[in-house]
Structure 1
Amino acid sequence: MSELNEEHRPRKSAVQVDTSMSKTLHHGLAVLELLTSYPHGLSVTDIADGIGVHRTVAHRLIRTLEAHHLCRKDSFKRVTLGAGLVTLAEPVEQDLRTLARPILEALADATGATAHLVVRESESEVRALMVVEPRSAKVHVAFHPGQVDPINRGSAGLSILASLPPVGGEREEITAARARGYAMTDGELIPSVLGISAVIPGRRGDALASLGISVFDTDDRDALGAEVVAAARNLGSMLR
């Protein structure tokens, strides 16, 4: 039985392949992107269906990725991500991640919320670079690093947009975030979850990033906003 179903099917890559690009490499990267949504692995057939290629093509892609330790097969022939990805990812924003971790841990424990570091992936998307869960909260929001979301939905993306000059037709929430110093959204990415994020000061252009929390609804939103802003400023000062 296929593990891919409409309810849990991951969003397809927004990358459009053109004649200047390698279609084979595109499909290989699509395999890795697909597997991020299935930590327990997928069959070769499911991977072929997921990226829209013949099973033989999927098999060749997987064998190549296995050779580079970017994916692996278990004893049940299910394909999962490989440890080689850790080596590739290690240099990415290493200073930012190293400095951010203790700040995120302190923020998560102080607020009882899941804290996250999000970077701008492109003009239209943001990606979660680091996610830290609170150690003492009985219930908390859970999601994985690497998750990609639209930049114009959710507090992380809106806080990044709010750090840029105003543009015509922007959402009211962006204007409010610019005036308040942090963005706040309610149930935009995950139902019943409040998101509060502030941009990390001092970063520009493609390096824009935000720090924030995701928490089930609370009555003390202003206090949480102040905690997030203080944490973002602290991280920004350490990056100078």
Structure 2
Amino acid sequence: MADGVLRRAMSLLRVFTDDEPQLTASQLSERSGLALSSVHRLIVMMLEEGMLSRAPAHRYAVGARLWEIGELSPLAATLRETALPHMVRLYEATGENVHLAVLDDPTPAEASAVFVGRITGRASVPTISRSGGRHPLHATGVGKALLATRDEGWLEEYLSAPLLLETRLSITDPARLRAEIERARTRGYATTREEMTLGNFSVAAALGALVGLPPAAIGIVAHLGEALDERRLAPLVMQAAKDLTRAVRHPDSQ
């Protein structure tokens, strides 16, 4: 019974999006596929537990209690907090958006990159990423860097699922993506050019294996016209990945 309630509560939480962070009970019912009567009962429980909060016009939003609990995750308490000074240094060296992402892979075919940290400035190129946002592996720099850490069996299953076009330049052919992954392994960093957002370029590198944490990668996103000097940007990103790996593995030495 408790398991069923938990699953239904999660089905409600999953329907909130960047575009629709506040929803009515009817919208929650429609998007989750749950009966409206069940949704009303869940809302009462979730409001009491702080999982939902009330918003204007009879709408609901994700509650502060979930944010509070989420901050206890190792992704926040260990990885992101340790990463912040390294991300700031990378931003200061490049002036570009800096992203930190981890691999979320309930199964390889469903895997994606979850952004756990982001630093940007007024002069940085606009991006669609946000902390907590989820993006495809094949179309993002950090995603390709994460793919380069996976073994052949994992990649085989991942590539068995269709790769969606994010822009007209997204790489959706498995053979071409495999070549990109091999190139990233050889060079130590991955790149994208207008594959997630037209006009943008990215460089990213994977961190080393970290105990208790999923695979992670750090990268920058810049305007294509300003970022063609790959030889300058790639070493900065790779050094940031090495420094951050060392900092997470040996926190007492920092």
Q: TM-score, normalised by structure 1?
A: 0.81
Residues 206 and 67 (structure 1), Cα distance of their counterparts in 2 relative to 1, 3 Å cut: same
Contact kept in structure 1, 2:96 and 2:221, CA below 8 Å = yes
Q: Tell me what 1:162 maps to.
A: 148
Where does residue 16 of structure 1 map in the other structure? Answer: none
**Matching of residues 80-95 of structure 1 within 5 Å:** 80-93=61-74, 94-95=77-78
SS at 1:106 equivalent: helix
Matched, 1:172 2:197: no
Question: Which is bigger in relative contact order (C-alpha 8 A, separation at least 6)?
Answer: 2
Deviation for aligned residue 1:233:
0.9
**Inter-partner Cα distance in structure 2 for 1:151 and 1:28:** 28
- Which of 29, 32, 46 does residue 27 from structure 2 map onto? 46
Q: Say if 1:200 and 1:66 are closer, same or farther in 2 by CA, change over 3 A.
A: same
1:234 alignment partner AA = D
* Residues 194-205 of structure 1 aligned to structure 2 (within 5 Å): 194-203=201-210
**Compared with structure 1, are the counterparts of its residues 138 and 92 closer, same or farther at alpha carbon in structure 2 (3 Å cutoff)?**
closer
Question: In 1, are the aligned partners of 2:203 and 2:219 still within 8 Å (CA)?
Answer: yes
Matches within 5 A, 1:15-54: 22-38=3-19, 40-54=21-35
Name the structure where helix makes up a greater proportion of residues: 2
**Equivalent in 137, 140, 144 of residue 151 of structure 1:** 137
1:208 alignment partner in structure 2 = 215
CA contact (8 A) 2:148 2:185 kept: yes
Output the amino acid matched with 1:233: K
Aligned position for 2:231: 222
Identity across aligned pairs (percent)?
Answer: 25
1:83 deviation in Å? Answer: 0.8
Partner of 1:103: 86
How far did residue 146 of structure 1 move?
A: 1.5
Cα shift at 1:157: 2.0
Q: Cα 1:139–1:155, aligned 2, differ >3 Å: closer, same or farther?
A: closer
Q: How many corresponding residue pairs?
A: 220
Please give the residue correspondences for 1:68-79 in structure 2 after superposition, counting only pairs within 5 Å.
Answer: 68-79=49-60
Structure 1 residues 206 and 131, CA, compared in 2 at 3 Å: closer, same or farther? Answer: same
Change (3 A) 1:87 1:70: same
Q: CA deviation at 1:112?
A: 2.4
Change beyond 3 A, Cα 1:142–1:153: closer
Gapped regions of structure 2 (runs ≥ 5): 157-174, 250-254
Query: Are the equivalent residues in 2 in contact too, given 1:114–1:142 (CA < 8 A)?
Result: no
Segment drifting more, 185-194 vs 120-129: 185-194
In structure 2, what residue type is equivalent to 1:70?
M
Query: In 2 relative to 1, CA 28–190 (structure 1 residues): closer, same or farther, beyond 3 Å?
Result: farther
User: Could you say what secondary structure the match of 2:243 adopts?
Assistant: helix
CA-based RMSD: 2.5
For 2:63, give the aligned amino acid: G
Distance 1:149 1:139, change over 3 A: closer
TM-score relative to the length of structure 2: 0.77
Pick closer, same or farther for the CA change 1:234–1:69 going to 2, 3 Å: same
**Structure 2 residue identity aligned to 1:171:** R
